[in-house]
């Protein structure tokens, strides 16, 4: 269970951890644990165990749901400390991971904006202050342990100058998710990955205009949606979603992914304005009633860290190809550091 074959004690009286073979972010807000799923000789699952602790970045060697588990627990620890420092004690859920269900992560329809308090939401179905803070902290902490540029090169497909898929697929990656080029170097390539247009989240009148067979859209809706092969455009970022519009400027819905990992890779890149995008429609609008969005990484895990939300039978989507190119690295890309944002979330939580 120890990839490096070594072990060391962190501090007197604490557990002994191994060293994990992954790069570190020395500026991360806090260290995290790396988890491993263990089986016995018969293949029976024994459980999930921490095998390393440190500021380790996520790599493809680490099961993504277990990576998210470690991030959730870090966020919970920060809130526990805040509760201990608060003038009056707050009730703490026994297991913070229970409230971080699939509806509570970016890309699943949740409002995970940092700094937005539960008091701004309606009384019915509103989240507790702790739950809202936990969602915000999880999204921020995950960014500190994901090298988005490197992981995009590892998981997406590189295109050549003519716009065709480059031979060799994903641009030369090893099992750790490292690439041919160091992430610090300006990336001038174009990367392609599948995505979806969530048509108004499936909750508006447009999403409900699907015909009963779920394969075609009513004529009034079809006039507004682009045909296969057409391009659509970013309309703006709100609540950790990239909204999309057609050539006439009509908002169509928002961008989503079938691969849960892409929410934590792409959404921060959009918010930090580090990439240029081109979005081409590759399919007709269709009902999502019979379409599954679970990824292999989340479906194989007992711990659900995915953004796979249950979708209503009337919701609709449209297949897209997302092409991404990094902007030239210029000056200060982050006017406000993630550590500062984490401090703001904690300060608001304490003041509530």
- Torsions phi, psi for 336 (to 5 deg): -130, 120
pTM for the model stands at 0.71
Find all residues with CB under 8 Å of 262, minimum gap 6, and list them.
Answer: 107, 155, 193, 195
Mean pLDDT value across residues 330-345: 73
Give me the helices (H) in the chain, please: 64-85, 96-99, 129-144, 148-155, 219-222, 261-271, 296-299, 338-351
Number of H helices, E strands in the chain: 8, 12
């304005």: which residue's tokens? 273
Q: Using 50, 70 and 90 to split pLDDT, how confident is the model at 211?
A: very low
Q: Which residue has the higher pLDDT, 119 or 266?
A: 266
Write phi, then psi, for 215 (nearest 5 degrees). -105, -20
**CA 95 to CA 89: how far, in whole Å?**
17
The pLDDT assigned to 106 comes to: 47
- Top-ranked range on mean pLDDT: pick from 73-77, 102-106, 126-130, 307-311: 73-77
DSSP result, 260-322: THHHHHHHHHHHTT-EEEEEEE-S--EE-TT-----HHHHT-SS--S------TT-EEEEEEE
Q: What mean pLDDT is predicted for residues 66-73? A: 97
Give residue limits of the domains in the chain: 14-146+336-351, 171-326
Is residue 108 within a helix (H) or strand (E), and if so which, with residue range?
none
**In angstroms, rounded to a whole number, what is the distance separating the alpha carbons of residues 284 and 214?**
11
Residue 177 binned pLDDT confidence (cut-offs 50, 70, 90): low
pLDDT tens column, 239-248: 899 999 999 9
- The more confident residue out of 137 and 107 is 137
Q: In the structure encoding, which two tokens stand for residue 281, read together?
A: 């429609």
Answer yes or no: is pLDDT of 350 > 80.
yes
257 has a pLDDT exceeding 90: yes
């Amino acid at each position: 269970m120890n990839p490096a074959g070594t072990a060391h004690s962190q501090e007197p009286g604490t557990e002994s951890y191994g060293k994990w073979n992954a790069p570190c972010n020395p500026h991360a807000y806090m260290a995290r644990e790396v988890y491993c799923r263990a089986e016995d000789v018969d293949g029976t699952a024994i459980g999930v165990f921490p095998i390393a602790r440190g500021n380790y970045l996520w790599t493809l060697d680490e099961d993504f749901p277990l990576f998210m588990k470690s991030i959730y627990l870090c966020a919970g620890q920060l809130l526990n400390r805040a509760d201990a420092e608060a003038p009056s004690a707050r009730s703490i859920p026994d297991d913070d991971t229970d409230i971080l269900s699939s509806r509570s992560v970016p890309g699943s329809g949740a409002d995970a904006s940092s700094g937005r308090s539960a008091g701004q939401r309606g009384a019915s179905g509103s989240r507790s202050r702790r739950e809202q803070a936990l969602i915000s902290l999880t999204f921020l902490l995950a960014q500190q342990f994901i090298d988005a540029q490197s992981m995009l090169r590892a998981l997406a497909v590189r295109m050549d100058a003519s716009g065709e898929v480059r031979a060799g697929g994903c641009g030369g990656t090893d099992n750790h998710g490292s690439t041919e080029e160091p992430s610090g170097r300006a990336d001038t390539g174009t990367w392609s990955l599948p995505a979806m247009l969530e048509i108004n989240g499936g909750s508006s009148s447009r999403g409900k205009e699907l015909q009963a067979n779920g394969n075609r859209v009513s004529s009034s809706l079809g006039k507004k949606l682009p045909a296969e092969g057409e391009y659509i455009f970013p309309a703006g970022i709100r609540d950790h979603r990239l909204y999309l519009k057609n050539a006439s400027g009509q908002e169509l819905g928002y961008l989503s992914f079938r691969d849960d990992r892409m929410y934590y890779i792409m959404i921060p890149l959009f918010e930090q304005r580090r990439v240029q995008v081109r979005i081409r429609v590759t399919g007709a609008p269709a009902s999502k009633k019979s379409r599954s969005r679970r990824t292999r990484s989340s479906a194989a895990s007992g711990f659900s860290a995915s953004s796979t939300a249950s979708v209503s039978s009337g919701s609709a989507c449209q297949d897209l190809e997302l092409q991404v190119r990094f902007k030239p690295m210029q000056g200060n890309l982050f006017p406000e550091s993630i550590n500062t944002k984490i401090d703001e979330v904690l300060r608001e939580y304490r003041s509530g």
